Chain A
Amino acid sequence: MSRIKKRVTGLQISFMVILFEIGSTPLFLLGADAKQDSWLAMSAGAAAGFALLLLFLWLQQRLPEMELPEMLRFGFGRIAGTFFGIVYSCYFAYQSMRNVRDFGELTALTILQSTPMSITMLVFILIAAYAIWKGAEIIFRLPEILLPGLLFCYFLLIILFILMGNADIKRLTPVAENGLWPILQAALPEILSFPFGQMIVFLLLWPLWEKPGVPVKNTVWAYVGVSVFLIFMNALNLAILGPVLAGSFYLPFLESVRTLSSLRFIERLDILVTLMIFIGLFIKIVIWYYCAVEIAASLTRTSAKWWVFPLGALIYAASFIERNYTQHIAVGLGPSTRIDTIFQIAIPLILAVAAALRLQSSRSSA
């Protein structure tokens, strides 16, 4: 569409895939139900996510130059497509809001205990709004600075873990003690929907690529790379804390880092972890928020700038709905995953079938 300025390089897409997928993922122990096999659950989730990614790539390739709202209209017709577009916009805003709330809670937990969450979240939303106001071209430049910094932090921590001998690979045994079933159960749909299924946002980002077509190579390589990294981080967390401890902490990675207290230089590396949370969550918020704004702008055929502040206000307001952290987590683990399944898997599948049928019929009629 002519509305989209295509100014994003393939490398920027790769960086964005990596940074978006990392997000805040390594901080949590995903698949904790699988105990010492959670890294296997992670692998299963990544593999399932890869299949889903191929579906998204297929969709984008079949409907080139189309963003998600246009695809929905193409697949479901004008009225139903618009309706689904609105729903998707709300869904993306909801995801953004979850990250905002995550961030607010984590800040209150780690660095600013006495500052009201309303202020930190407001600051966060305003920065995200500023980035979106500047446009997609600018947003895609951010990972090029942030990702090397983030990876440097992870690299530093990994080196420290290994040097200090905190990680013990024996904690990962016995492998697949109870067979494969518990592993798959832990992986599907939770790990699939967070973080791997979230690749759905790229249905709005791929069309920004400067070249015609879909940056398949860039996306796939970045996805494979980041999957390996996330599985490794999961295993590392387990190897440091052991399945029981890792499963019982809310932020196992923070606890892992706190085991590095014998450094004698900086007593606590919490600041590093907070910085990593900040970067990861920020890019997630920005992308979800951007997608919500983009759909709204596309549906109303207006400039995205019209929607930055209304949707920002909406996300900010929505982040207060949950009464406390416990509820936030409960919603995140319960209803949220079901919603994710609908939006990340069910609708795209139906859309793919509908699009295939439409393409078939248009080809046969032509």
Chain B
Amino acid sequence: MKLKFLSNHKAASKPETVTASSRPLESSMDANVAEIKRRIGNSADVVFRSLSNPASGSPSLTFIYIDGLINADLVTQAVIQPLTDSQDLQEQGMENEKALLLIKEQILPVGGIKECKTVEILLSMLFEGNTIILLDGANTALAANTSGWETRSINEPTSQGVIRGPKEGFTESLRTGTSMLRRRLKNADLRVEEYKIGRRTQTGIALVYLYGIANEQVLAEIRKRLDAIDTDSILESNYIEELIEDGGMTPFPTILNTERPDAMAGGILEGQVGIIIDGTPFALLAPATFFSFFQSSEDYYQRYDISSFLRIIRFTAFFVSLLLPALYIAITTFHQEMLPTTLLISLASQREGIPFPALIEALIMELTFDVLREAGVRMPRAIGPAISIVGALVLGQAAVQAGLVSAAMVIVVSFTAISNFVIPSLAIANSIRLIRFLMMLIAGTMGLFGIMSFLMVLLIHMAGLQSFGIPYLSPVAPMKPRYLKDIILRMPMWKMKIRPSTYGSQEAPRQNLPAKEQQVSAKQSGPQGSENS
């Protein structure tokens, strides 16, 4: 089914041809320059610089680079100056092939130099920030790596903050991302595979995994799906996410996204595969299970007791966010007898003057909150306080005083909204945001029975979901009791002796305890102690 999805996508759009058939460079420099100019058009940021000195006998040269993509100092000092100053090149009125070799091997002090034989390769090197050196009479061009452009410095992640733990997040630069992982996993098994996807954007994509830990089948599947992508542009990781995730209609995300290199390193260590996309600080981790969306990297930076408590809070918040408005509607509409009498009287007196049924009231308030939330994201920073005042006072207090909504409903909606932000992953929080509306509609028509039925449908749906062949609800369904140490509760580090194979990797010891402690724990845990060996 998953592959059908991709092939559908492929069939939907006929690939437009961006690049013509490859054209080799000619030996005449002028002809090459003319061809390149024809290809690029009259773009203002492309710089052509010719050097010719017929008197000295050195061959004439042309440098091409894109202003803004190169480090100007580097180009002057490491490319242009050595070439103009070089005695060797001036003295020998040498043949062009030899001169080219001389430049490549001896004169240029820059790190990466590549040869380009065709116009297409030349152009792609140019767009990556190389300086192209064309030599008159040679049908090969040199590309010197002089790239250097303005990048954002490494900042704290904005969407996934922690109190304790590393404060650096991925940036838009692919290379920065891979380097952050290298710094965390100084291991020869860390592999970085690069792809260029997007006919027009040629976006760099890096597949990062630990060789021998990441499951080979999962890897092969991810590679296959990445190779099958045929699109014109990749501007953000969600493009990749939607194009490679398992098919089928589902509101649940099956790929995790993260801004945190430490979270990614943790995932990679457990056998997940990281996908870093150039141009966005949000990287992907696949395969992902439902429970992985509730794990925050901070869980491992705090003591296990508080982390376990927070996990439980998160799962509770998940259910509150999903169910609270629906339960309120169902109970006030159909099952009033379930409430204690005093609460019932209080609710009833609040609702006395309200013109709408509970369902409409709840829908209005939920939609209002979503409007406020969207406004909060879009509005200019300067008018933020104004929005909060309007939101809190006008839509909250005033609406209650005007008798449009009941105070209890405002409490329900705000608590639901706050609960939604407890969940560490925005992706899954967003999916419940939508399911919540459906849940409210069902609660308004069929009460608790409807809620239970819909929960059952969701459960069956989730039990059937897969992420790259890994069941979405694992390790709970199908259950692997030994892997449950890091799901609802976060057990102490010394209890989590094995690395779970939830993501299809081989089970392996995670830590070896000092001998003395090992004996004690082996005694305590009985037969399971053998995991450790």
Interface residues, chain A, CB within 8 Å of chain B? 9, 11-12, 15, 107, 111-112, 115, 119-120, 123-124, 127, 130-131, 134-135, 138, 140-142, 144-146, 264-268, 270-271, 274-275, 278, 282
Contact = CB atoms under 8 A, between A and B. Distances in A.
B453 A271 contact: no
B21 interface: no
Contact of A124 (B453, B479, B481): B453
Contacts of B334: 111-112
Contacts of B338: 266-268, 270-271
Given A131-B460, A142-B460, A275-B452, A265 B340 contact: yes
B473 to A, nearest CB: 6
A138 B466 CA distance: 11
A120 B446 CA distance: 9
B507 to A, nearest CB: 16
A282 B453 CA distance: 10
Contacts of B481: 11
Contact of A134 (B339, B340, B464): B464
A240 B302 CA distance: 46
A141 B478 contact: yes
Contacts of B459: 142, 145-146
Interface string B449-473: 1101100110110011000000101
A267 B453 contact: no
A130 B476 contact: no
Interface of B: 334-335, 337-341, 446-450, 452-453, 456-457, 459-460, 463-464, 471, 473, 476-479, 481
A83 B77 CA distance: 92
B473 A145 contact: yes
Contact of A138 (B453, B457, B464): B464
Given A111-B335, A267-B341, A271-B338, A142 B463 contact: yes
Contact of B337 (A138, A140, A146, A267): A267
A275 B453 CA distance: 10
B488 to A, nearest CB: 10
B477 A144 contact: yes
Contacts of B339: 266-267
A284 to B, nearest CB: 14
A264 B342 CA distance: 10
Given A130-B457, A141-B471, A12 B478 contact: yes
B335 A271 contact: yes
B456 A144 contact: no
A145 B337 contact: no
23 contacts: A9-B478, A11-B478, A12-B478, A111-B334, A112-B334, A123-B450, A127-B460, A130-B460, A131-B460, A138-B463, A141-B471, A141-B478, A142-B477, A144-B473, A264-B340, A266-B339, A267-B338, A267-B341, A268-B337, A270-B338, A271-B448, A278-B449, A278-B456
A267 B342 CA distance: 10
Q: Which of B335, B460, B473 has the most CB of A within 10 A?
A: B460
A236 B452 CA distance: 27
A115 B340 contact: no
A9 B464 CA distance: 16
A279 to B, nearest CB: 8
Contacts of A271: 335, 338, 448
Contacts of B446: 112, 115, 119-120, 123
B479 A12 contact: yes
A146 B341 CA distance: 31
A107 B449 contact: yes
Contacts of A275: 452
B478 A127 contact: no
Nearest to B460: A131
B333 to A, nearest CB: 11
A123 B445 CA distance: 13
A11 B479 contact: yes
Nearest to A278: B452
Contacts of A115: 446-447, 449
Contact of B476 (A107, A134, A144, A274): A144
Given A135-B464, A142-B477, 13 more contacts: A111-B334, A127-B453, A140-B478, A141-B471, A141-B478, A144-B478, A265-B340, A266-B339, A266-B340, A268-B338, A271-B448, A275-B452, A278-B449
A278 B463 CA distance: 18
Given A115-B446, A278-B452, A127 B457 contact: yes
Contacts of B476: 144-145
Nearest to B442: A123
B341 A141 contact: no
A9 B478 CA distance: 8
Contacts of A274: 448, 452
Contacts of B463: 134, 138, 141-142, 145
Task: List 4 A-B pairs, minimum CB-CB distance, nearest first.
Answer: A141-B477, A144-B477, A141-B463, A144-B479
Contacts of A264: 340
A135 B471 CA distance: 14
A266 B448 CA distance: 16
A27 to B, nearest CB: 16
B212 to A, nearest CB: 26
B303 to A, nearest CB: 26
B473 A120 contact: no
Given A112-B446, A271-B448, A127 B456 contact: yes
A112 B450 CA distance: 10
A161 B341 CA distance: 22
B111 to A, nearest CB: 53
A131 B463 CA distance: 10
A112 B447 CA distance: 8
Contacts of A134: 460, 463-464
A124 B464 CA distance: 19
Nearest to B456: A127
A131 B461 CA distance: 8
Q: Which of A9, A115, A135, A140 has the most CB of B within 10 A?
A: A115
A266 B327 CA distance: 14
Nearest to B343: A267
Contacts of A107: 449
A278 B453 CA distance: 9
Nearest to B453: A123
B460 A111 contact: no
B449 A111 contact: yes
A252 B84 CA distance: 100
Contacts of A142: 459-460, 463, 477
Contacts of A267: 337-341
Q: Which of A115, A123, A135, A146 has the most CB of B within 10 A?
A: A123
A141 B476 CA distance: 8
Contact of A282 (B340, B448, B456, B478): B456
B449 to A, nearest CB: 5
A11 B460 CA distance: 19
B373 to A, nearest CB: 31
Contacts of B340: 264-267
Contacts of B479: 9, 11-12, 15, 144
Q: Which of B341, B471, B479 has the most CB of A within 10 A?
A: B479
A110 to B, nearest CB: 9
A265 B471 CA distance: 39
A144 B341 CA distance: 37
